[in-house]
A and B are shown apart, each in its own frame.
Chain A
């Protein structure tokens, strides 16, 4: 084995990976030892597959259209539905809601909405928050003071309250919901990226890059950021859970996705008056929210253990 460290692979420089296993294999070996985290990953993969295939499983028009005669059909009943001019038998696997709409179908289409919300808001928060944090940590000075004070102020307003204020003033719409959740998940990433940039930027390999004449941007993107990614990945996973929960909470309060569009939170708020006669309209959407959040939390915990340098031998 050669003694020289390839300079394109920053991972080998700081973590001392053995050469016969790449960083990803090393990480996967550690991650897959945590069975709960793997289970979480499986749930999230199923959930994303369902979100992608939603239209193939249940037609959007069918699950937003009324089938009044089948209102509150209990779990597992088969009933006649009139759909696109034809009558057919339809199995209500998770029952029907107050308009006779298929609850499972609505949950599946709701999965698509929350997957979009989760990914969009977190990508937004990581890109903008991470960019600001990296700039603050790397350049320091007045820029840092301004960015960090701004982040402190945003952090001082509790997430759900801030999101609620944004949507309540701008009006409930999908775009405003994304904006509200994106902005409220942003400051955490500013702090996190700044903190890890601060710890990384004084390391020898950065000094080495400087000595080789690398410019600021090159050092930041090639050397500093890739090495400060671990906590960001963990936080992004936990942030997904938080975003999905915020979206469901705001929709539950009537500030998110508006009916008849299916969304887990608004399904719960629509089902709420019928808790006595049709509890299934509440049980299943809530289970969906809980399972997905649990899965993201498990992955987040697993990632933290797998990426935490302190636990490495």
Chain B
């Protein structure tokens, strides 16, 4: 088990390096010159050049990438930062606050929103998915299927605005601006964010349940004379939920990222609004720090979920070990044999 966890953590290393490399390359090739942006409009070229070298921007690409990861100690102190791994990438061009200060301050708000949305979608989607599968082709099933289809097709930011229109503008039930301190105000953003995962989970539960209730062991359970409720709850559900749990795990990361659009619609103070504000003000360090932070959170959450599965379901671990050891049979080997 421990070796499995260690191996999964090692697999994270190339991903982290790759993600940071891509994001850094994007900053590097981005057309704006940060030094010129920080100086007044009429700054002379020599001043810009001096600032560029103080910021370490005159260094070669790979050196700058190293600084990005492990920190930069320039001639002055004002542009020093400790690097991505110590969660310090310097200061915002706009507010002059440390970029990660803002991110870490707002991140719990995004986590709160995502976890509430996840709980809501699990609580709603799984019962309806089961209901839909156990009464296949009934009215309930049709309604769930259609709603789930709409759910996977509706753009979250539009759903959010429509909810504001109905529940804030017309019915005055909920405020249109959301803050974490007011529980009433986060009802609409939670519903907005949950819609997609709710639809995905309901579809998954339904199809997985439909597959399971056709299995022989379900027929056996029924033949034994168990009540239908017991068959479903004890025998079908436990097996049907395995793929659903996988999907739920994958959604943790997706919800954190999906929060970007939902937060924008409700002006909720999370990572998403930081990113969008930074984009509008062309505050590159803030944008890239947020993107790289979210991407790393996404990778770590997915790793955590994977490891958790191995605890829950030993089959997954065995399966993983099975594929890792399987030799690759290439076409060339076929040719040699032929």
Residues on A close to B: CB < 8 A?
Answer: 138-141, 144, 149-150, 152-154, 156-158, 160-162, 164-166, 168-171, 201-202, 206-207, 210-211, 219, 241, 245, 248-249, 252-255, 268, 272, 275-276, 279, 282-283, 285-286, 289-290, 293-294, 297-298
Contact = CB atoms under 8 A, between A and B. Distances in A.
Interface of B: 14-15, 18-19, 22-23, 26-27, 29-31, 149-150, 152-155, 157-158, 161-162, 164-165, 169, 253-254, 257-258, 260-261, 264-265, 275-276, 279-280, 284, 287-288, 291, 294-295, 298-299, 302, 328-332, 334-335, 338
Given A157-B19, A249-B155, A282 B331 contact: no
Contacts of B275: 164
Nearest to A138: B331
B153 to A, nearest CB: 4
Nearest to A292: B153
What are the nearest 3 A-B pairs in CB distance?
Answer: A153-B18, A286-B158, A169-B30
Contacts of B254: 158
Given A169-B30, A202-B334, A275-B169, A153 B14 contact: yes
B334 A207 contact: yes
Contacts, number: 149
B153 A286 contact: no
Nearest to B295: A157
Give the interface centre of B27, B162, B253, B265 by most chain A CB atoms within 10 Å.
B162
B295 A169 contact: no
A254 B26 CA distance: 19
A202 to B, nearest CB: 7
B22 A254 contact: no
Contact of B295 (A156, A254, A283, A297): A156
A156 B338 contact: no
Contact of A268 (B31, B158, B253, B258): B158
B257 A158 contact: yes
Given A241-B153, A297-B149, 10 more contacts: A153-B22, A157-B22, A161-B260, A165-B288, A202-B334, A245-B155, A272-B265, A275-B165, A286-B161, A293-B155
A140 B158 contact: no
B295 to A, nearest CB: 5
13 contacts: A153-B15, A158-B253, A160-B260, A160-B261, A161-B291, A162-B291, A165-B288, A170-B26, A202-B334, A254-B276, A268-B158, A272-B265, A294-B150
B331 A294 contact: no
A168 B287 CA distance: 8
B36 to A, nearest CB: 15
A52 B265 CA distance: 32
A258 B156 CA distance: 21
Contacts of A144: 328
Contacts of A138: 331
A169 B288 contact: yes
A245 B152 CA distance: 11
B162 A286 contact: yes
A219 to B, nearest CB: 8
A282 B161 contact: yes
Contacts of A294: 149-150, 153
A171 B31 contact: yes
Given A140-B328, A210-B335, A290 B253 contact: no
Contact of B154 (A253, A279, A290): A290
A249 B261 contact: yes
B196 to A, nearest CB: 10
B193 to A, nearest CB: 13
B279 A168 contact: yes
Contacts of B152: 297
Contact of A282 (B165, B261, B284, B334): B165
A276 to B, nearest CB: 5
A279 B153 contact: no
Contacts of A206: 331
A211 B338 CA distance: 8
A249 B26 CA distance: 20
A280 B158 CA distance: 12
B29 A279 contact: no
A254 B287 CA distance: 14
B157 A164 contact: no
B329 A289 contact: no
Contact of B155 (A158, A219, A248): A248
Nearest to A293: B153
Contacts of B26: 165-166, 169-170
Given A156-B15, A168-B287, A252-B157, A283 B162 contact: yes
A239 to B, nearest CB: 14
A162 B298 CA distance: 12
B153 A161 contact: no
A158 B298 contact: yes
B162 A164 contact: no
A258 B304 CA distance: 40
Contacts of B280: 254
A158 B30 contact: no
